[in-house]
Chain A
């Protein structure tokens, strides 16, 4: 055995602290994942209130002389604009990044490395799910704080309690989205089909939610909770059943995903 250099020894000592949780942390920060997540949500948080504030002027510039009368901007409208972008483009980014981490069976060599060393698929799935869900929730929080600040400066104040309740609902929904992605990764082996399946489910849910009788039981209802809370349409207790259902469905999706992944052959 060749003699290790002091730098090599130091790196080996650091490497001996590696585990599946640190692996996910490194995945987040050594790849553009954390940056992409943060940038997308914060950018929308900063841009949408500005757009809401000045949309009549912006539309006048592109209207070829046609005068468009817009209602005066409100804090709820600014937040709604942010939520609508975050719930589509932000969701696509969250699902894509989570699917990349959770589709570990897409590469046979990597799958063999992990599956022959890890006992129990939950041990493998838990860090990937948790870190991705936490990263999505934090990115959503940062985006919401940015939107809150911009709205406060440009348009008017937003009620703090309602904002915090809305952020909670959004974070729970994104956690559910990552669980759906985990389930999709247990159905499709490759990343792209997993993204397609997860997005199909997540984008169809709001359409299903147009049926009044079931809308309060669908996780997608949480998407518009922040706007309804700040506009005073509903209070947080109104969403408690939806939150409970979402948490339960998240747990069920993860359980099924782990069972399916455990039954999969490489």
Chain B
């Protein structure tokens, strides 16, 4: 596996081994993917990193040059929603979902069509022709078509790219609620979205998987041992005491009552900061770790600048 520093993930619902699709130097190279059953797996990477290629290989519309893909469920239980779903413009929303139903789950009834449309938030518009839908509505319709067959594996390419803020929040909540019931693999450029709903993350750059594992683990790895401490009084005394502490590497006053302190490690800071404040008899208002998010981890891993 090419991913460095990745958590070892048990063989899951979807696995790939040495997956390669070479478009003459670009594409996807030696990707060993492991998507645990029931997880929400976020696939992130810069433009051209190979996200769409990887998803296309997983859903079978492209074939790998090398490597293997293992999906431990039948193809009928896999649903795919591309970043820009397209439908014949003269179909109604009902008919588009009805067509998807007939192709993947012909035995289920009209109730499932209604349920899928309602889940995607299209109950009111489903009787209209798709040609009159906004791009966001078409994206929701793509999701309804994917859900109508009650898939075990849902592959979503940029599922929020065309949605307004409310629609985006609804889509994220919807996907997050699937955790445990379905396995979801989705790609996104919006790292905050991935951090919010994905419990597993894969980071691609130049067609190679740089990291794969728990989102929390990745963030923790790149969490800096830096805190901002706010005191009710005695900031000068605390700052002076911290500056002499062996675990503190840097102490800086950032305001009348605020101190920014860097420690040699997270554990040293978590132990040392409360001890110094207590020894000085100061009153602490707050102590917050410096923001660490998927974006900073992503930037650190990919070597990109913010």
Interface residues of A (CB under 8 A from B): 1-2, 4, 7-9, 11-20, 23, 26-27, 30-31, 107-113, 115-119, 265-266
Q: Say whether, besides A1-B118, A27-B88, A109-B82, A11 and B127 are in contact (CB < 8 Å).
A: yes
Question: Do B127 and A18 touch across chains, with their CB atoms under 8 A apart?
Answer: no
In the bound complex, residues from chain B placing their C-beta under 8 Å from that of A4 are 114, 118, 123
Which of these binds chain A: B12-20, B99-107, B188-196? B99-107
Question: Do A110 and B88 touch across chains, with their CB atoms under 8 A apart?
Answer: yes
* Interface assignment of B50: CB less than 8 Å from any CB of chain A: no
Shortest distance between the CB of B114 and any CB in chain A (Å): 5
Number of A-B pairs, beta carbon distance below 8 Å: 116
Residue among B85, B91, B110 making CB contact with A16, cutoff 8 Å:
B110
In the bound complex, residues from chain A placing their C-beta under 8 Å from that of B110 are 9, 12-13, 15-16
Give CA–CA (A118, B111) in the complex, Å.
22
Shortest distance between the CB of B56 and any CB in chain A (Å): 7
Q: Say whether, besides A19-B99, A266-B61, A12 and B118 are in contact (CB < 8 Å).
A: no
Question: Do B63 and A112 touch across chains, with their CB atoms under 8 A apart?
Answer: no
20 residue pairs of the A-B complex, CB under 8 angstroms, read A1-B118, A2-B118, A4-B114, A4-B118, A8-B114, A8-B123, A12-B98, A12-B126, A13-B110, A15-B95, A18-B102, A23-B88, A31-B90, A108-B82, A109-B85, A109-B87, A110-B87, A113-B86, A116-B60, A265-B62
Chain A residue nearest in CB terms to B78: A116
Question: Do A1 and B86 touch across chains, with their CB atoms under 8 A apart?
Answer: no
Question: Do B61 and A107 touch across chains, with their CB atoms under 8 A apart?
Answer: no
Question: Do A23 and B99 touch across chains, with their CB atoms under 8 A apart?
Answer: yes
Residue among A16, A31, A110, A266 making CB contact with B98, cutoff 8 Å:
A16
Give CA–CA (A111, B118) in the complex, Å.
25
Give CA–CA (A105, B99) in the complex, Å.
18
In the bound complex, residues from chain B placing their C-beta under 8 Å from that of A31 are 90
* Interface assignment of B80: CB less than 8 Å from any CB of chain A: yes
Residue among A16, A19, A117 making CB contact with B113, cutoff 8 Å:
A16
Shortest distance between the CB of A118 and any CB in chain B (Å): 6
In the bound complex, residues from chain A placing their C-beta under 8 Å from that of B111 are 12
Shortest distance between the CB of A76 and any CB in chain B (Å): 42
* Interface assignment of B59: CB less than 8 Å from any CB of chain A: yes
Q: Say whether, besides A15-B98, A265-B61, A265-B63, A8 and B82 are in contact (CB < 8 Å).
A: no
Give CA–CA (A100, B110) in the complex, Å.
30
Beyond A108-B86, A113-B82: 5 further Cβ-contacts under 8 Å?
A: A4-B118, A4-B123, A8-B127, A18-B98, A118-B103
Give CA–CA (A142, B227) in the complex, Å.
83
* Interface assignment of B109: CB less than 8 Å from any CB of chain A: yes
* Interface assignment of B226: CB less than 8 Å from any CB of chain A: no
Interface residues of B (CB under 8 A from A): 56, 59-63, 75, 78-80, 82, 84-88, 90-92, 94-95, 97-104, 109-111, 113-115, 117-119, 123, 126-127, 142, 145
Give CA–CA (A18, B114) in the complex, Å.
14
Question: Do A1 and B80 touch across chains, with their CB atoms under 8 A apart?
Answer: no
In the bound complex, residues from chain B placing their C-beta under 8 Å from that of A8 are 94, 114, 123, 126-127
Residue among A26, A116, A117 making CB contact with B95, cutoff 8 Å:
A26
Shortest distance between the CB of A36 and any CB in chain B (Å): 15
Give CA–CA (A115, B56) in the complex, Å.
11
Question: Do B87 and A113 touch across chains, with their CB atoms under 8 A apart?
Answer: yes
Question: Do A116 and B126 touch across chains, with their CB atoms under 8 A apart?
Answer: no
Residue among B56, B63, B94 making CB contact with A15, cutoff 8 Å:
B94
Give CA–CA (A31, B89) in the complex, Å.
10
Shortest distance between the CB of B141 and any CB in chain A (Å): 10
Give the 5 A-B CB pairs with smallest separation, nearest first.
A15-B98, A109-B86, A15-B94, A18-B98, A117-B103
Give CA–CA (A147, B250) in the complex, Å.
96
Question: Do B90 and A27 touch across chains, with their CB atoms under 8 A apart?
Answer: yes
Question: Do A2 and B123 touch across chains, with their CB atoms under 8 A apart?
Answer: yes
In the bound complex, residues from chain A placing their C-beta under 8 Å from that of B117 are 12
Residue among B75, B84, B101, B109 making CB contact with A18, cutoff 8 Å:
B101
